[in-house]
Amino acid sequence: MEVPSDWFSTWFDSPYYHILYKNRDAHEAQRFMDNLLEHLHPKPTCKLLDLACGRGRHAIYLNQKGYDVTGIDLSEQSIAIARQSENERLHFFVHDMRNIFRPDTFDFIFNLFTSFGYFQEDYENVVALRATTASIKPGGKLIIDFMNTQRVIDRLVAHETKEVDGITFDVSRRVEMGFIIKTIQFQDKGQDFEYQERVRALRYEEFLEYFQMCQLRLAEVFGDYQLGPFDPQKSERMIFVLKK
């Protein structure tokens, strides 16, 4: 089965995506957000953007902390669900991150849990980052949380099966043409399904090149959700704090 280059527009809108990942650790995500807020100290008047927000769980949590938050995502179904939680200081929009969204508006933009590097062509990632930079107020900050690519490749699990809600997902992983590719195959109600996740295997040095092209200054980089120091070989994450 041929998987389209814009795989994210179909997979993220699929109900099976949310079934497969239903057991993700929400408490870990909230602790990470708490650590970021404690470190960054956003003022109560700051405007925050959750970029590639999915169903909005992080945007909702930030709003519960008292902030004016906007979430954007390409998935219409995810945004429809997120909008059920809207209030006067929490709004969601369907938007492609390659296009500029509200120039010079946000004090902080969060792009979390490896929600970057999905595009087939490398230049599209630069286009997306430039568009994101345009949305930041002068002096504002962008936080990008990405997997530590080298560590992921070194520890790649080639094959596993997961059973969730009575569905057996057959998951295989490989590195090919500069992408980490996860293929997900399963049957449901007598029908065969196949989806892919394709994330560009971006390394620390490549991100530095992106930042330079977009005139973003790297202020800090952390290696885990406790905001520990980044170690290229050992850290689980690359968490960049960038200033416009």
Residues 6+ positions from 2 with CB-CB distance below 8 Å? none
183 lies in the same domain as 72: no
Question: CATH code at 210?
Answer: 3.40.50.150
Give domain status of residue 2, yes or no.
no
How many independent structural domains does the chain possess?
2
Give domain status of residue 28, yes or no.
yes
143 lies in the same domain as 219: yes
Residue 126 lies in domain: 7-148+203-243
67 lies in the same domain as 172: no
Residues 6+ positions from 8 with CB-CB distance below 8 Å? 74, 75, 118, 197
80 lies in the same domain as 118: yes
CB-side neighbour CA atoms (13 Å) of 208: 5
91 lies in the same domain as 119: yes
Judge if pTM exceeds 0.85. Answer: yes
65 lies in the same domain as 16: yes
Q: Residue 77 class from Cβ within 10 Å (0-12 exposed, 13-18 middle, 19+ buried)? A: middle
What pLDDT, in 10s, does the model give residues 204-239? 999 999 999 999 999 999 999 999 999 999 999 999
In Å, how far are 106, 159, 209, 216 from 123, measured between CA atoms?
24, 31, 12, 17
25 lies in the same domain as 121: yes
75 lies in the same domain as 193: no
What pLDDT, in 10s, does the model give residues 33-84? 999 999 999 999 999 999 999 999 999 999 999 999 999 999 898 999 999 9
143 lies in the same domain as 209: yes
- Least confident range from 8-17, 93-102, 131-140, 209-218: namely 8-17
